[in-house]
Amino acid sequence: MAALVRRLCRRSYIPVFGPGYRMLSTIENVSENGKSMNLYSAINQALHIALETDPRSYVFGEDVGFGGVFRCTTGLAERFGKSRVFNTPLCEQGIVGFGIGLAAMGNRVIAEIQFADYIFPAFDQIVNEAAKFRYRSGNQFNCGGLTIRAPYGAVGHGGHYHSQSPEAFFCHVPGIKVVIPRSPREAKGLLLSSIRDPNPVVFFEPKWLYRQAVEDVPEDDYMIPLSEAEVIREGSDITLVGWGAQLTIMEQACLDAENEGISCELIDLKTLIPWDKEIVETSVRKTGRLLISHEAPVTGGFGAEIAATIVERCFLRLEAPVSRVCGLDTPFPLVFEPFYMPTKNKILDAIKSTVNY
């Protein structure tokens, strides 16, 4: 592997984004000339653009050479060659460690962890190496070109080892960013921003939505800024905050609540670290109430950090305690998955109890 690093790093570094890329402040600014595609196809298109616009970008991981388990890397090896898109051994620690070294030499690295559940063997490399690389040298060198992709969350039949949501573990670590998209258009723009960001990024992809989420996605090169949340539904009675696949469930709950006369404001956080505190604070100061929902277990989930921050900033404006509707404090079940999940009805009940507090 060391020999491969030396061979890859012989080429001169040319940081190219291409003449057509754009930074978009909101998804509404995206060109309407799009093509209907699902989330995994949008990820695949973003990877094609990243490899095409930067000659020192690389994609690697377990089985990515033939397209990967979820087909996100389909066609990349054939188009860009096996020296830039290649399989690795089944060793997550090695995948990330290799990526850190390759990024430290000025390359743009997209490393895939096949399932987020298996990112834990690489935890030391991410937390103690990638996150601290820039700081240990006083900014003389860094591995900011590293992006780690990982499918996370429930899939309907994944059980203990293919359903977990580990984002909160990495939100405790200064030096990395954590990004989770909710839809195909968001996934493409946020992934390109993550790849081109000068900091290491852990990019979690909601595998439940790989094929279920379909919408028009612009085929051109565009980026959506990191650390900018979005109000995707305006309301006046309560603020709901979530990310990833959970936004679909929360939006359904908002529609049902509207039928009962409750106006819900729904915010997609998009980037968990560093997260957009200001947009959430502004919303809560207007509504006076906050509900947070995520698939990960409630104890120690990132929702607790949001709740604590908003209580500090908006204590005198709150009309009710902050509510959290999350996964249960148990290993992710198989046949009991419907009981574990923060469902629409659970969220709707929490909305009504918070508003009526």
Nearest to 58, CA basis, from 185, 156, 157, 149: 149
Q: How many other CB atoms sit within 10 Å of the CB of residue 95?
A: 25
Burial of 312 (0-12, 13-18, 19+ CB in 10 A): exposed
- Whether 92 sits among the annotated catalytic residues: the reply is yes
> b/e per residue, 147-166, with b = 16+ CB within 10 A?
bbbbbbbbbeebeeebbbbb
Active-site position among 92, 167, 205, 295: 92
As a whole number of angstroms, the distance between CA 240 and CA 121 comes to: 34
Which tokens hold the place of 297? 């277990």
Nearest to 250, CA basis, from 319, 342, 160: 342
Pair 223, 201: CB distance under 8 Å: no
Active-site position among 112, 162, 230, 295: 162
Query: Please, how many CA atoms are within 13 Å of residue 313, restricted to the half-sphere of its CB?
Result: 19
As a whole number of angstroms, the distance between CA 130 and CA 93 comes to: 12
**DSSP states along 195-229:** HHSSS-EEEEEETTHHHH-EEEEESS-EE--TT--
214-218/34-38 β-pairing: antiparallel
Q: Show which residues are catalytic.
A: 92, 162
